[in-house]
Chain A
């Protein structure tokens, strides 16, 4: 039995909250602040897990199941995401569809839990999240289909082991276009700035944050941790396409993905500091644009 994939999964589980800290630290740097420690999310999780939970009398078991089911879905999703170019724990033909559906399932339970509270604000957030994720999903799936067609791989592990943008003479333009589309999907799915603002505290403008307002204590910890894992999962998908893979020493090749993810977190922080959030009616335009890019990549590979 190979130990490598398990170790990689363990690193993902332990390292994911660090990335959120890096994003926040980058934003603090651009705002001229010192910012919270990089390990802040770990402290927050430890604090939240020690607390008790309070449940409204209007909620049912759906509300309590939401965070647990969401975390379970993203944990399963992590098992099919390759670690850079190293294969994932589980790899089978068509596993990228499973990845997309697991992420959709996570969103679905979050939306159900939000609707279960009966709060009109949470319903509004749920409606927006449903709309935006429905628009982001074609970009993800068509983009991955283009990569699959380009590389001839049928599982994520095969696909990502083949592509690398750093070696430009070997790379195909389709992979470059898909990586742009996936970056937009990455920002949208992780509720980052052009689409959603993780720092906002005005219920009218919130999307993801408003849906988890009623969760507290351990439930909130599960949600925050799940969000960090989702950041890691989609980030390693994107980095697997961008970063080089083959032809490095094992130790160096292993360090490429964590380094790339930290770089991606810094890039996210820069995007968040340098851009304003898009108006809500402009967001579908951005996501449809990402889907158009994915279709472009697919058409180019089908030629």
Chain B
């Protein structure tokens, strides 16, 4: 079944590249949601014959949060702050793509070198590099983009990457851990949505550079 896992992971990779090169915030939100949906299927593909009620429950909750709730919250935040134009990012879109290419090579190199145990033959060898690259993309978005919304997206992409890594390495995590992570991510997106709203009300846009003007003292 690694053919389907590989196909799925390639789509996740393509989504990462799209996020690095795209300036459209709504399309980016949709891409992150699609990534979440795709990764939701990963546990079912990785553990064959794991259609226990518990796995199906986790699958449903994961898909519901990553594919429906997060995008809905983000779209709502986006409408509330009326981000129409995209501020120029710190790192332009073409340099972002080039950096992404370098990062990709690095992630594959790292994925081949790390002495991680391969839990099962059904786990594609592509999972670890893809997870690393997704985390890399998320970090890059947080560092390289100016608007708060794009940075929240970066956070969600990191979360997706960590999830892919966890699924491939731990196969079956305790239910409590998994639910805890999902709840944390949900709370974080919720709080960030409120923060975005407040930043936008204070400064009339969500360029986080403006936060620098909040300092009390002059250097």
Contact = CB atoms under 8 A, between A and B. Distances in A.
Interface of B: 3, 6-7, 10, 13-14, 17, 21, 93-94, 97-98, 100-101, 104-105, 108, 112, 125-126, 129
Chain A facing B: main interface SS: helix
Nearest to B106: A299
A303 B125 contact: yes
A297 to B, nearest CB: 9
Contacts of A291: 101
B21 A285 contact: yes
Contacts, number: 49
Among A169, A296, A303, residue most surrounded by chain B Cβ atoms (within 10 Å): A296
A295 B105 contact: yes
A288 B10 contact: no
A168 B3 contact: yes
Given A173-B6, A288-B94, A299 B125 contact: no
Given A173-B6, A292-B97, A299-B108, 14 more contacts: A176-B10, A177-B14, A285-B21, A285-B93, A288-B21, A289-B17, A292-B17, A292-B21, A292-B101, A296-B101, A296-B104, A299-B104, A299-B105, A303-B112
A284 B92 CA distance: 12
A293 interface: yes
A173 B104 contact: no
A135 to B, nearest CB: 9
Please name the 4 residue pairs, one residue from A and one from B, whose CB atoms are nearest each other, closest first: A173-B10, A292-B101, A299-B108, A288-B97
Interface of A: 168-169, 173, 176-177, 284-285, 288-289, 291-293, 295-296, 299-300, 302-303
Contacts of B3: 168-169
Contacts of A295: 101, 104-105
B10 A177 contact: yes
A296 B15 CA distance: 13
A302 B98 CA distance: 19
A296 B94 contact: no
